């Protein structure tokens, strides 16, 4: 079946515009915004190392960025992990998913996981598209959490920090491609 010229030209123009919009929105959306002012004040000198996007069944869930002080990731130095959400998610669901991922990394002490659950429930808010959480690793001390405009709370447990950040940065992560992008080992 041959389409009339005006209709086929319209479809071509429409498809070009759609392609341009997708390419333009992807390139604009992938640039990480600066860290919240409070994070920059408390942890000066953090620069974005790498970033990636998590999709689940073609649904854009979030974009994440790893921020470090030097030219590469050093787990014994302060660093920040930023998550910019594209979907709505309840704080409790975020806690449950974090615990599932921690178990997948080999954390099996149920008493400890229960304690961490309470800490995450206390800190994680309900999130809407466009919201962000920044977790900052304070080596040997704690994990501090921030939203775009305020301090959310801290979990004072170095082992929690290893488990929590391991969700994204451990070699056994469930998302190795995302890890590679954030660590800037895959372009």
CATH number of the domain at 35-182, please?
A: 3.50.70.10
Q: Which of 66, 70, 126, 67 is nearest to 93 (CA)?
A: 126
Indicate the pLDDT class of residue 186, thresholds 50, 70 and 90: low
Residue where the block lists tokens 């080992």: 185
**Strand 47-56 and strand 59-68: pairing?**
antiparallel
**Residues 3-48: tens digit of each pLDDT:** 444 444 444 443 344 433 333 333 334 456 789 999 999 999 999 9
Contact 33, 167 (CB under 8 A): no
pLDDT at 23: 37
Question: DSSP label at 81?
Answer: E
Check whether 73 has a pLDDT greater than 50: yes
Q: Which of 170, 183, 87, 166 is nearest to 132 (CA)?
A: 87
pLDDT at 50: 96
**Strand 47-56 and strand 142-146: pairing?**
unpaired
Mean pLDDT, range 53-70, rounded to an integer: 95
Check whether 119 has a pLDDT greater than 80: yes
Pairwise CA distance, residues 124 & 176, whole Å:
24
Mean pLDDT, range 119-133, rounded to an integer: 97
pLDDT at 185: 85
pLDDT at 10: 40
Specify the range with the lowest mean pLDDT, choosing from 31-40, 151-160, 166-175. 31-40
User: 181 — phi, psi (to 5°)?
Assistant: -65, -40
Tokens of 14: 């429409």
Indicate the pLDDT class of residue 60, thresholds 50, 70 and 90: very high
Pairwise CA distance, residues 123 & 75, whole Å:
23
**In whole numbers, what is the pLDDT of the chain averaged over residues?**
86
Check whether 98 has a pLDDT greater than 60: yes
Query: Could you tell me the residue ranges of all domains in the chain?
Result: 1-30, 35-182
Check whether 80 has a pLDDT greater than 70: yes
Pairwise CA distance, residues 187 & 183, whole Å:
10
Question: Residue 86 CA to chain centroid, in angstroms?
Answer: 10
């Amino acid at each position: 079946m041959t389409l009339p010229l005006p209709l086929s030209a319209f479809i071509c123009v429409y498809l070009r515009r759609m392609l341009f919009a997708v390419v333009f929105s992807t390139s604009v959306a992938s640039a990480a915004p600066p860290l919240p002012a409070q994070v920059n004040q408390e942890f000066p000198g953090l620069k974005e190392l790498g970033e990636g996007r998590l999709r689940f069944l073609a649904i854009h869930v979030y974009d994440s960025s790893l921020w470090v002080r030097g030219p590469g990731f050093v787990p014994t130095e302060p660093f920040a992990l930023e998550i910019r959400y594209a979907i709505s998610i309840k704080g409790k669901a975020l806690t449950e998913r974090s615990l599932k991922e921690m178990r997948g990394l080999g954390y099996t002490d149920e008493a400890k996981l229960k304690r961490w659950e309470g800490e995450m429930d206390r800190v994680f808010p309900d999130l809407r598209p466009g919201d962000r959480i920044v977790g900052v690793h304070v080596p040997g001390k704690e994990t501090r959490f921030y939203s775009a405009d305020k301090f959310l709370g801290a979990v004072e447990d170095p082992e929690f920090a290893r488990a929590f950040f391991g969700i994204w940065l451990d070699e056994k992560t469930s998302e190795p491609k995302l890890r590679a992008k954030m660590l800037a080992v895959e372009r």
